[in-house]
Chain A
Amino acid sequence: MASLKRSLDSDSLAANISSKIYVRSTKSGKVQKIVREVYLRQDIPCSSRLCQTCPKSAPSDASGKLIPFVLSEAPAGTSSFPQGHYLVPDTNAFLTAMDLFEQDSAFYDVIVPQIVLEELRNRSLPLYNRLISLTKSEDKRFYVFFNEFRLETHVARQEGETVNDRNDRAVRKTVAWYAKHLAGTKAKKVPAVVMLSNDRDNLRKAKQEGIHAFSLAEYVKQLKDGEKLLDMIPDAEDRDDVKDKRPGDSLYPEYFSMSKMMTGVKNGLLHQGIFNVSPYNYLEGSIRVPAFPKALIILGRENINRSVDGDLVVVEVLPKDQWKEPSTQVIEEDAITKNENPDADDAEDVVSAKERKALQEEVKRTHSKTTEGHAQPTARVVGVIKRNWRQYVGHIDQSSVSQSAQQGRKQDTVFVIPMDKKIPKIRLRTRQVAELLGKRILVTIDAWDRSSRNPVGHFVRDLGELETKQAETEALLLEYDVQYRPFPKTVLDCLPKEGHDWRVPQDTNDPGWKDREDLRHLLICSIDPIGCQDIDDALHSRPLPNGNFEVGVHIADVSHFVKPNNAMDTEASIRATSVYLVDKRIDMLPMLLGTDLCSLKPYVERYAFSVIWELTPDANIVSAKFTKSVIKSREAFSYEQAQLRVDDDSQQDDLTKSIRTLMALSKKLKQKRLDAGALSLSSPEVKVQMESETSDPIDVKTKVLLDTMSLVEEFMLLANTSVAGRIYEAFPQTAILRRHGAPPKTNFDELANQLKVKKGLDLSVESSRALADSLDRCVDPKEPFFNTLIRIMATRCMMSAEYFCSGTQAYPEFRHYGLASEIYTHFTSPIRRYADLVAHRQLAAAIEYEPVHPSVRSRGKLEAVCKNINVRHRNAQLAGRASIAYYVGQALRGKATEEDGFVMKIFSNGFVVLVPRFGIESLIRLRDLAEVEPQAAFDAETYTLTTSGSRDVKVELFQKVRVKVTDQKDETTGKRGVKMELVKTY
């Protein structure tokens, strides 16, 4: 009778097989025990160029390629290791100071043990991804050593040993092995192998075992520019000490445990949502939760409980007697906490007396009125599910700096005021206060303890002097998370080898011509803003024998050059959009493509993706055709040039005639769109005029609308709509579309009420058509701008349009509210928007020009793409606006002008004025009205603010006022901005 013996014992290779056993819990709370095999081997190279033995056994991939050895033969030294050294950081080091490792000045030749990578992945995915990209960068020389798979460095967990201790031991063993291994290389200068850790216990054990080991701070001190780098290490240990010292001295209420929050949310007792801070009052936040139609209000520091704008938090609704109206008062952080001392944490209470006073007045006001119905539910934060902290741009608050710190190199605690007003002041410890004063700096938040009034952060990078063009532009790009670094080599490698000499092949049998229509004979032209280099679109029209017109929209064929999933495509999908600043353009695609090879420049042949319709003279579509093509644009017009040409009756050439045809058709198309209920919205848009030599801003102009602009717009809309229908038909589950949700009626409540009270006008919002009509009725015969003002305000009540993947929504939800179109996508600007590029690929697959690429039909992938481009798109818009605002400020520098403005918003202690001439809005506080702050009576029912005492004025909503506009450096944000003073009311 044979017996089944345990096979492992009889195996001669038993020593090389191990297993990894761990327990994991699933989302549903089930606990699983996982057993995995681990094969131990001896051919994992050390990857040091000094080593002679490892290359012999180095592995190769299926095509026989070897991985090059990365660690330098002559690594940099420090004061303790003049012979050079390799670094082995532990998980803790990466968790606390990833910024440090990304420095250019130090931290080269780093060995990352596999166990550290694993631990990091479990602790923080973003940090893991940053580390992975470091290992891919050639010049940083990071090497992942798979210590768990190497026989000599594998360690088994001992009885009673915690996982962390075991992992630390594994790191130490790796260090020891490396030291021994390198010693055997017979190199002249054997580099030292140095472990970096912030874990005291680990360091102690390392010293016992005779391994070189330092804490991050100790190590950085040995480097040349150590002092600067020192600031980038968060003081984890120090903070622990503080905590130990005063355990009971907590300023904020404790967070609920995760399980308590989860059960609470499940039972509907607690609510989960994204925390948003009011732009006018830093002590008021709001949170939208699915359970309530209106946002919950979170008032006061204690209730906000350490949440920062953007965090995913859990809140508890407060009892009804604590419900309040949303604030009608402006509360700015700097005005109230101006004199706080960054060192003093033991301030009497979390809510300072001043803050309390500010809030008190709120409460008084609510109580004085008996309109209980107005009170909105309030809530308090009981826990944070996910922090949404990023890096923040800001500057050091001059007033928080002590005199001694300005001279010495002593470590000092200062406040950093972030550029984004919604972010609280960040406490920062630094030794370089003197150098950093007056500079734009980049900081991150590390933690926010219960015992600390403000979050604690560390310094990352210095961007340059405040108000220099370079620093401000970079600050802006960082603040809106725009990828602005030059394209890496891997991306540039994807460009055509011919460079600028690339031409459309002459031979029509060339593979590039496959399935392309030859449209070179058509009279095509492009119409764009002045100086436009990335020409996405071109148009043509010609009469057909049957009296109809053929109209073609030709879009740059970017998808011919950018193939799915190569490095360039990946980079473009991350950037998602080009960003236009006043003086700078951050491209989505490398210049060569964007401004040359793809750009539909005049007089040269270019590949294009064409949409060609047959339109009746009434602009009804008879048929639509999509095809890849080759075109030759006859002329690149600016809007102004085109307009002049159309208006000039002496021009009777075919090209001009075709533009006139297009113009006539576009007007009919527009009328149709408006009849269907498309909204014509408005935003205060201005253009900054720059001096051509120095590119200093000299003047601000409001944008003029020309018919030619609306011509191009109409045909782009038509192309987008046609394409949307076609790709949806081909890919009902995965078409990339753009929708604009109908705004909830409550969004318009306030505006409708304001109009009713102040002007006796009705705003109906049942449908986009009704809204469009009622907006048309909102006119003030005496004031032509009034209508625009209302449109601007209405625009702000809308939802933002978003990209989505068709499978994620039901068909009725596809609707584009603003354009009153059932289905819509973006197709016409593939050079500057990634969504268009995806639409191009889908359309190419739909017309069977090329096989369907998996990336354009994988729903999961497309959803991720949509999510990213939605965020990037928004950020790009914000960055563009911020850039204009900055330059408007610069253009006004040193000037003082009087302009007309309109009151847009009114508070009990101030009001917001919009000046259309500059497209800016600014807050005028009561205390700005006169030397002594006047008394004020605010009537919320009629939106009227009447002041008395030092100055008597009566300010009403929508009122036209005369203001004096000057520039002023904003203390809080360090931005040069405009300051308005009320001259008179009309």
Chain B
Amino acid sequence: MPLDTSTYNLALLRVDGRRWNELRRINAQIRTQAAADGSSYLEMGHTKVMCVVTGPSEPGPRRGGVVGSAGGAGGGGGQSKDAEVVVNIVIAGFSSVDRKRRGRGDKRTLEMQSTVANALAASLHIHLFPHSQINVSLHVLSQDGSLLAALINAATLACVDAGIPMTDYVAACTAGSTSTYAANDESADPLLDMNHQEEQELPGLTVATMGDSDRVVALVCESRVQISRLEGMLVVGVDGCKQVREILDRVVREKGRRMIDEGTVEKGTGLNDMDVD
């Protein structure tokens, strides 16, 4: 069994060989499901998620209990002025080490649904689609830490693919700290992009920002951490979000270029504003 996170100070290396400020390998594709309005597949290390976006469309009959409504933007179902972002997360039983089934009413899943919905609603121009619904289905295929961040990133890509107008990418990542809460180590380094083992052993938070700006649209911290360490973690997290945005942007542009090359779309039609170099 490999070492744990306490050996970081020996050589400034994390349990998987990264430095404190390095992201894991992020790999993403968009338009993976031709039949869907928008779709994406995203890997952050061994965390693998896929996303399918349907809509904006007329609100259908509500599916019981799985609606994560976009907080302030929502309101009276399909009758509101804004579109409703409905997020549905399915965590596959085989996604973690122990095979376990999560029920539909799982509190953690519900909370993640609402966090993703709120983060997306901040960027999507939902006021353009009154009385309609945007359905975001997320499927978790494999989990290895930073799950919420991966879900937000995948949902962003799928929304881009669906062509829903939005202000900017919503990019997310996690940040942690190299020593435990109880150790109370003032000089602990912040960590970028935590994997499962680090999440288990160290304090951490998930942060999502709006594109290039420092505007934080989601911030979740579920572990105990000294307030003095929080700032450093947040700075590293926001910086990581910018790196993630670059990666997402590259994925979209790459796909766009390929579609033009393949002749799926003509250069200039609908993509005329886009600089595809």
| Contacts from A to B (Cβ < 8 Å) | 1-2, 4, 7, 11, 13, 17, 20, 22, 24, 30, 32-41, 44, 59-63, 67, 114, 117-118, 121-122, 135, 144-146, 148-149, 564-565, 853-855, 858, 861
Contacts and interface: CB of A to CB of B under 8 A. Distances in A.
Nearest to A5: B29
Contact of B182 (A34, A63, A148, A858): A858
A267 B193 CA distance: 47
Contact of A38 (B7, B16, B181): B16
A118 B27 contact: no
7 contacts: A4-B29, A36-B195, A38-B16, A39-B22, A144-B7, A146-B11, A855-B182
B1 A22 contact: yes
A11 B27 contact: yes
A33 B3 contact: no
A866 B21 CA distance: 38
A17 B184 contact: no
B12 A144 contact: no
B27 A117 contact: no
Nearest to A13: B25
A861 B182 contact: yes
A1 B29 CA distance: 13
B12 A61 contact: yes
B169 interface: no
A4 B32 contact: yes
Nearest to B144: A37
Contacts of A60: 12
A148 B24 CA distance: 17
Given A39-B16, A854-B184, 5 more contacts: A1-B34, A36-B15, A36-B46, A44-B11, A67-B11
A59 B12 contact: yes
B98 A146 contact: no
Nearest to A148: B17
Interface string B1-45: 111000100111101111111101101010110100000010101
A2 B41 CA distance: 11
A17 to B, nearest CB: 6
A103 to B, nearest CB: 22
Contact of B1 (A24, A38, A67): A24
B59 interface: no
A44 B13 CA distance: 9
B248 to A, nearest CB: 15
Contacts of B18: 39
Given A37-B45, A861-B182, A135 B29 contact: no
A118 B6 CA distance: 12
Contacts of A117: 3, 7
Contacts of B98: 30, 32
A121 B41 CA distance: 38
B184 A2 contact: no
B78 interface: no
B34 A2 contact: yes
B187 interface: yes
A7 B27 contact: yes
A837 to B, nearest CB: 16
A737 B169 CA distance: 55
Contact of A11 (B13, B25, B195): B25
A62 B189 contact: yes
Given A39-B16, A117-B7, A2 B182 contact: no
Nearest to A59: B12
Contacts of A121: 1, 3
Contact of A40 (B17, B45, B183): B17
B16 A144 contact: no
Contacts of B144: 37
7 residue pairs, one from A and one from B, having the closest CB atoms: A149-B17, A39-B17, A62-B189, A7-B27, A144-B10, A565-B184, A37-B16
A62 B184 contact: no
A884 B125 CA distance: 84
Nearest to B42: A7
Given A20-B2, A67-B11, A144-B11, A37 B182 contact: no
Contacts of A35: 46
A875 to B, nearest CB: 26
B190 interface: yes
Interface in B126-175: 144
A39 B195 CA distance: 12
A117 B12 CA distance: 16
A118 B32 contact: no
A63 B25 contact: no
A149 B13 contact: yes
B11 A32 contact: no
B274 interface: no
Interface string B227-238: 000001000100
Contacts of B226: 854
B3 A114 contact: yes
A135 B182 CA distance: 23
B232 A62 contact: yes
Contact of A146 (B17, B20, B22): B17
A148 B15 CA distance: 11
A117 B22 CA distance: 24
Contacts of A7: 27, 29, 43
A861 B97 CA distance: 29
B197 interface: yes
Nearest to B15: A36
Contacts of A135: 10
Contacts of A17: 25
A60 to B, nearest CB: 8
Interface string B171-213: 0000000000111110101100001010000000000000000
Contacts of A33: 97
A493 to B, nearest CB: 14
Contact of A63 (B41, B43, B187): B187
Contacts of B190: 62
A34 B97 contact: yes
A622 to B, nearest CB: 39
Interface string B80-106: 000000000000000001100000000
A11 B27 CA distance: 9
A170 to B, nearest CB: 13
Contact of A122 (B1, B27, B34, B184): B1
A1 to B, nearest CB: 5
B10 to A, nearest CB: 5
A426 B3 CA distance: 35
Nearest to B190: A62
A36 B197 contact: yes
A17 B46 CA distance: 12
Contacts of A37: 16, 24-25, 45-46, 144, 195
Contact of A41 (B17, B21, B27, B29): B17
A846 to B, nearest CB: 19
Given A61-B189, A62-B21, A861-B182, A36 B12 contact: no
A122 B12 CA distance: 22
Contacts of B197: 36
B44 to A, nearest CB: 10
Contacts of B45: 37
Q: Which of B13, B41, B187, B190 has the most chain A CB atoms closer than 10 A to its own CB?
A: B13
A129 to B, nearest CB: 11
A118 B182 contact: no
Contacts of A39: 16-18, 22, 24-25
A149 B226 CA distance: 31
Contacts of B10: 135, 144, 146
B31 A2 contact: yes
Contacts of B184: 564-565, 853-855
B234 to A, nearest CB: 13
A59 B230 CA distance: 23
B233 to A, nearest CB: 10
Nearest to A563: B184
A140 to B, nearest CB: 14
A38 B11 CA distance: 16
Contacts of B13: 44, 59, 146, 149
